[in-house]
Amino acid sequence: MLDEKLLKKIDMQRLPVHVAIIMDGNGRWAKKRHLPRIEGHRAGVKSVDDMVTTARKLGVKALTLYALSTENLSRPKDEVRGLMKLLQEYLIKELLRLCRENIRLETIGEVEQLTPVVREALKKVKEETAGNSAMVLILALNYGARAEIVEAVTKMVRQVQNGGLREEDIDESSFSRFLHTSNLPEPDLLIRTSGEKRVSNFLLWQMAYTELYFTDTLWPDFRGDDLLRAIIEFQGRDRRFGLTEEQAFSLKR
Ligand code: FPP
């Protein structure tokens, strides 16, 4: 249940279209409770559930969750195995809800390097939710923004070489089409939990004008009301996209 007082403070006409979250602090949450790290990740799945519910309820159109960075795959084997298992369980459990609530699942990152079972589960959920349109849930898995940019450059050069793209047509918009996020709007709001104030190789190109929100709350403690607080702060900010106040005001009208 969301806090009605917080809900009332939200301007439904000015919701962020795309919210991206760096879910951090699972390990510290577990350590504080003398639990193995994987229990922090397991508790974090409940926060994932809560974010999807809240974002969908509000009418946010896209929610991207940084579930696994490329670097995370180099963590101790037990932890990586545990994360893969949680992901697999989550996908199996979530399919019905995504279908019921008209949510499409997409991924960004090198999913080909995940375990065959997780790849299979992802393929099934993506296929079965492909026609859903109320919201898109994007899981960033084995994702790294620099690698994504290098891959996009490589693909673009190849297209120029084979005549599919003219050099004079290279610009920001044509480049964006080679990124994993080609069919998504850029994030309006980035949230990072656990007190760290970094973007850690997440959506570097796409975040040029994203509003950043940092909170000390650890990810497993971050719930729907915390998302409302982040959106309230976002709505209080003056987004100018590098323009003067007057220009930005006329853009909004
Ligand atoms: C960062 O916390 C979190 C991760 C590396 C994984 C996030 C995964 C989940 C929330 C669960 C699985 C996801 C889905 C979508 C089912 P950390 O371990 O770096 O925390 P620490 O900085 O406190 O050590």
Read off the pLDDT of residues 187-222 as tens digits, 9 standing for 90 and up.
999 999 999 999 999 999 999 999 999 999 999 999
Structural domains in the chain, CATH included, are 14-147+186-237 (3.40.1180.10)
Whether 169 contacts 132, CB under 8 Å: no
Q: Is the CB of 41 under 6 A from ligand 1?
A: yes
Query: What is the sign, positive or negative, of the torsion defined by CA atoms of 175, 205, 222, 48?
Result: positive
Q: Is the CB of 24 under 6 A from ligand 1?
A: yes
Whether 104 contacts 70, CB under 8 Å: no
Neighbours of 22 (CB within 10 A): 23
> Is pLDDT at 19 greater than 80 in this prediction?
yes
Q: What is the pLDDT of residue 252?
A: 62
In 3D space, the residue among 234, 230, 247, 239 whose CA is nearest the CA of residue 51 turns out to be: 230
User: How many whole angstroms from 251 Cα to the centroid of ligand 1?
Assistant: 38
Q: What is the distance between the alpha carbons of residues 249 and 184, in angstroms, rounded to a whole number? A: 25
Q: Distance between alpha carbon 155 and the CA centroid of its chain, in Å? A: 24
**Catalytic hit among 49, 72, 201, 221:** 72
132 is catalytic: no
Q: Give 243's pLDDT tier (boundaries 50, 70, 90).
A: confident
Helical spans, DSSP H, in the chain: 4-8, 26-32, 37-58, 77-100, 116-129, 145-161, 172-176, 224-236, 245-252
Q: Distance between alpha carbon 184 and the CA centroid of its chain, in Å? A: 11
> Is pLDDT at 251 greater than 90 in this prediction?
no
Neighbours of 144 (CB within 10 A): 20
CB neighbour list of residue 17: distance below 8 Å, 6 or more residues apart: 60, 61, 62, 185, 188
Q: Is the CB of 75 under 6 A from ligand 1?
A: no
Instruction: Give backbone dihedrals phi and psi of 192, rounded to 5 degrees, phi first.
Output: -125, 130
Read off the pLDDT of residues 120-151 as tens digits, 9 standing for 90 and up.
999 999 999 999 999 999 999 999 999 999 99
Instruction: Give backbone dihedrals phi and psi of 24, rounded to 5 degrees, phi first.
Output: -125, 150
Q: Is the pTM of this model over 0.85?
A: yes
Q: Read off the pLDDT of each residue in 5-19 and give the average, rounded to a whole number.
A: 98
Farthest-apart Cα atoms in the chain, separation: 59
